[in-house]
Amino acid sequence: MSTVKSHSKAWTAGARLGPASALALVLALSGCAAGPDFKQPEAPAVKGYTKEPFEAKTASAATVGGDAQQFVEGMDIPAEWWTLFKSPALNTVIEQALKANPDLKSAQAALRAAQEQVTAQQGAYYPSVNASLAPTRLKQPLSAGQGPSPLTLTTAQVSISYTLDAFGGNRRQVEGLQAQAEQQKFLLEAAYLTLTSNVVAAAVQEAALRAQIAATREVVKVQSELLMLLQRQYQLGDVAQADVLVQQAALAQTRASLPPLQKSLAQQRDLLTVLAGRFPSEELEQKFDLASLSLPQQLPVSLPSSLVQQRPDVRAAEAQLHAASAAVGVATANMLPQITLSANIGSAAAQFGDLFTSGTGLWGLVGGLTQPLFAGGALLHKKRASEALLDQAAAQYQSTVIHAFQNVADSLRALQYDADALQAQYLAERAAANSLEISRKSVQLGAATPQTLLTAQQTYQQAVIALAQAQAARFADTAALFQALGGGWWNRGEPLAAAATK
């Protein structure tokens, strides 16, 4: 690793030895580059994601989405992890989204631009060659004694210039741009993972809303039947009119809960359509319900040491850290001598046809060395600023890693506790359904008051809605775990970055 101090001492020593020795020393130093050499951060020295060991298997319930799930440590993740839900409709929508989503296309274009910037900067490794042709018509006063006037002169020449990368400034710039291109590659992977995860989450939410709407309609049906029962009993004089009115109010309240759910479903359909790269008026043909989705029964749990290599956002933060490290090298090299070489060769003649004939040739060779002496402290403070940005990038990388581990920990806890919640909610829904049936028969026989029936109805309505939400949570938690673990992009046959350049 090179520093300003070491290079400055070497330059001073070379100057004492004379121009030829100094140039030889500079050429020897050109094998190194100013600034720090980047080292990949080590993986966090932690052995798990949660403080306490999590259970190897979740609870189960005899309902949709109630299968027990087993955690398999070190299990690899397929690139198309969403296929584990075994939904052809979901696979189709994700395929459409990957082809047409504009956010993904934007990330692909950003990657191509970053790669072209690398190639453009690499051009500075080579000499710059320019050809020029300059016809001139010049009239001079007779007193100048310069021969016949006006004078025609045509000059054609080739100019070559080259900046010697003695202290690696250009190499650090190329290194920084390569790191930025690497960052864009992983930002593209992150966009891919976010898009596929959002489609899965949107499909699950649509299915959950359909389940809640179906459950609410079932409650409306039950309450309508009970209203008819109370109306008959009122006609027989078994119940008061107030009991009938209370039941009518309960039925109306349940019906009023349907439009908000239907609104949410319509908006969810719009979201899925937009994720697939379409306008809302071009609604998708595919529809989702919980019964059409299968819950994966084996779930991967990547080793903590592997997570930093799998998460696209962590890899992007690492590349950003690399770019900041290279920027320190660029700022350091700008404080050191700059060596330029230039040459030109050509011909000049009074007649265009005489170009390149004997006696018309010209050439020149120039060497230049520039050592910044005073710039108002600008170069020093730019170097200090780049060092501060390097510290910032290091802190941002650490924050990204910590949040990545938090995402996995949150997903694991959600899978465990939401499975317990579904099991409990399923039992609650069954108990509420049985209670409602018993209350209905008791009121019909005159053994219970209508108020008892009303309470049973409200309990049942809350239970069926909560059951649908708990079922959806199991699917959403599973998708969140795959996203938190990186989504298996490393198992894709063709790298996404390669496909983006086609």
SS3 for 186-209 is: HHHHHHHHHHHHHHHHHHHHHHHH
Q: Which helix H or strand E contains 366, and what residues bound it?
A: strand 361-370
Under 8 Å between Cβ of 481 and 411: yes
pLDDT reading at 31 higher than 70 = no
Under 8 Å between Cβ of 279 and 101: no
The encoded tokens of residue 397 equal 């990388």
pLDDT reading at 269 higher than 80 = yes
Who has greater pLDDT, 421 or 35? Answer: 421
CATH class of 33-38+50-294+307-500: mainly alpha
Q: What is the rounded distance in angstroms from the CA atom of residue 370 to the CA atom of residue 385? A: 23
pLDDT reading at 397 higher than 50 = yes
Q: Under DSSP, is residue 383 helix (H, G, I), strand (E, B) or coil?
A: helix
Phi-psi region of 348 (alpha: psi -120 to 50; beta: other; left: phi over 0): beta
pLDDT reading at 199 higher than 70 = yes
The residue with tokens 């120039």 is 366
Task: List the single range of 253-267, 381-395, 488-502 with lowest mean pLDDT.
Answer: 488-502
Task: List the single range of 182-196, 212-226, 378-392, 437-451 with lowest mean pLDDT.
Answer: 437-451
Across the range 85-108, mean pLDDT stands at 96
Q: What is the rounded distance in angstroms from the CA atom of residue 444 to the CA atom of residue 449? A: 10
Q: Which amino acid is at 401?
A: V
DSSP assignment letter at 410? H
DSSP assignment letter at 81? G
Across the range 90-101, mean pLDDT stands at 96
Across the range 354-380, mean pLDDT stands at 88
- Interior angle at CA 11, CA 178 and CA 336, nearest 5: 40
Q: What is the rounded distance in angstroms from the CA atom of residue 296 to the CA atom of residue 287? A: 20
DSSP assignment letter at 130? E
pLDDT reading at 74 higher than 70 = yes
Under 8 Å between Cβ of 216 and 114: no
Across the range 262-284, mean pLDDT stands at 96
Task: Return the pLDDT at 499.
Answer: 59
Q: Among 29-33, 110-114, 144-148, 442-446, name the most confident range.
A: 110-114
11 contacts: CB under 8 Å, gap ≥ 6: 22, 25, 26, 336, 337, 371
Q: Under DSSP, is residue 97 helix (H, G, I), strand (E, B) or coil?
A: helix
Task: Residue 37: name the closest of 331, 322, 395 by CA.
Answer: 322
Who has greater pLDDT, 450 or 159? Answer: 159
Who has greater pLDDT, 498 or 289? Answer: 289
The residue with tokens 């994720």 is 275
Average pLDDT over the chain reads 88
pLDDT reading at 378 higher than 90 = yes
Task: Return the pLDDT at 420.
Answer: 96
444 — pLDDT class (breaks 50, 70, 90): confident
- Predicted TM-score (pTM) of this structure: 0.86
pLDDT reading at 7 higher than 60 = no
Across the range 124-130, mean pLDDT stands at 93
Q: Which helix H or strand E contains 144, and what residues bound it?
A: none
Q: Under DSSP, is residue 440 helix (H, G, I), strand (E, B) or coil?
A: helix
pLDDT reading at 17 higher than 60 = no
Task: Return the pLDDT at 47.
Answer: 87
Under 8 Å between Cβ of 112 and 180: no
Q: What is the rounded distance in angstroms from the CA atom of residue 107 to the CA atom of residue 103? A: 6
Phi, psi of 284 (to 5 degrees): -65, 150
Under 8 Å between Cβ of 3 and 332: yes
**DSSP secondary structure of 273-312:** HHHTT--TTS--S----GGG----SEEEE--HHHHHHH-H
The residue with tokens 């439009």 is 259
Task: Return the pLDDT at 259.
Answer: 96
pLDDT reading at 329 higher than 90 = yes
Across the range 371-397, mean pLDDT stands at 94
Residue % of the chain over a pLDDT of 90:
65
Across the range 477-485, mean pLDDT stands at 97
Under 8 Å between Cβ of 202 and 274: no
Across the range 276-295, mean pLDDT stands at 94
pLDDT reading at 256 higher than 50 = yes
pLDDT reading at 208 higher than 90 = yes
